[in-house]
Structure 1
């Protein structure tokens, strides 16, 4: 394997991947990249809808229930003979964009047994 020094970065605390940032605290959403999703207008055809769904699915692990939320958006793709965009699709589109606009996005962090024990103790005391 050959490495090109001009493309290498050393001593970095975080690395950017498409749609994600991997750092000391784990993997988080790359807010710069997802800004495109937040500002995207409603799709005008199936090609733009597929593009939006592809981008959103790249972030699926950061949002719960995404498959259910995108179901109304996948329906127009089933029948490609005519394009239809109704209130149901618009509501789903707006809801997904709102989820992308949350200021506190989840972080997938590294396993830490001490945190797990603390979490289990907290749940035990709450019960």
Structure 2
């Protein structure tokens, strides 16, 4: 009815786990792909709002695996408010490192 065709070259069968859309899927469930987590962990500190939004978006992608209290990310979100001058200080650096550490320890 649906006229679905399977491409044998692109298909994977009988695997214990596979990487799909940034996650590792296995019989025990879903977990973040270590390559994606490593990419976030190796990100340098952002130098502008666009880079910070990108970092926060990548963290948000794995929000189901993070138990990140909002007060940890608050300094980063405050930088994104309209009219706020970009100043990356010690507080922002600590929040950035804490968020990366939470992601790498929880996954």
Tell me the TM-score normalized by structure 2. Answer: 0.83
Which of 6, 18, 26 is residue 3 of structure 1 equivalent to?
6
Higher mean Cα deviation, 61-70 or 9-18?
61-70
Gaps of 5+ in 1: 106-127
**Is 1:59 matched with 2:62?**
yes
**Is 1:47 matched with 2:50?**
yes
Higher mean Cα deviation, 54-63 or 71-80?
71-80
Structure whose alpha-carbon radius of gyration is higher = 1
The number of residues matched between the two structures is: 104
Aligned-residue CA RMSD (Å): 1.9
**Is 1:19 matched with 2:47?**
no
Tell me the TM-score normalized by structure 1. Answer: 0.71
- Residues 48, 101 of structure 1: alpha-carbon distance in 2 compared, 3 angstrom cutoff: same
Gaps of 5+ in 2: none
Matches of 1:25 and 1:15 in 2, distance apart?
12
